[in-house]
Amino acid sequence: MKKTNLINSEISYIISKMGHTDMLTIADSGLPIPKETKRIDLALKKGMPSFLDTLETILEELRVEEVIIAREMKTVSLVLYEKLMKKIEELEKEENMNIKIVEVEHEAFKEVTKKSMCVVRTGEFTPYANIILKSGVVF
């Protein structure tokens, strides 16, 4: 049995296939997912699982060197934005590295999701609770 907290076999499989700069998207329940992009749907009901819980679990298994978020998160969902920035700061300290944060307009964000290996859909109902994780290397 797996030792890490991530027990979702589909997500674990995607992460195991990721190479340097490959992307994985974590989405709120409303983000449109491109037909050509693999969907892993975790949404059970409003708020479950949450965006941050899903992110934290995935970050236990995935090395990240860059994140992409919608610029609108900062103004429309400030509380979530601040929690996300704190989480990234904690991760940088834990892993002794800098994570590049890229902010783009929401429409551009949706276009980039087409390049993700998958979109993990959560039950999050907070606007713009979406992030693209760009894989780093562990060496």
Q: Identify whether the C-beta of residue 120 lies closer than 8 Å to the C-beta of residue 29.
A: no
Class at the top of the CATH hierarchy for domain 9-135:
alpha beta
Residue 22 labeled ligand binder: no
| Model confidence at 2: pLDDT above 90 | no
Q: Is the pLDDT of residue 1 over 60?
A: no
DSSP letter at 87 equals H
Q: What's the token pair of residue 4?
A: 């890490």
Report residue 50 CA to chain centroid gap. 12
**Is residue 41 part of an annotated ligand binding site?**
no
Listed by start position, the domains of the chain span 9-135
Residue 128 annotated as lining a ligand binding site: yes
Catalytic residues: 20
Mean pLDDT value across residues 122-136: 98
Write the pLDDT tens digit of every residue in 50-70: 999 999 999 999 999 999 999
Say what angle helices 51-59 and 78-95 make with each other, to 10 degrees: 10
Query: What confidence score (pLDDT) does residue 4 get?
Result: 79
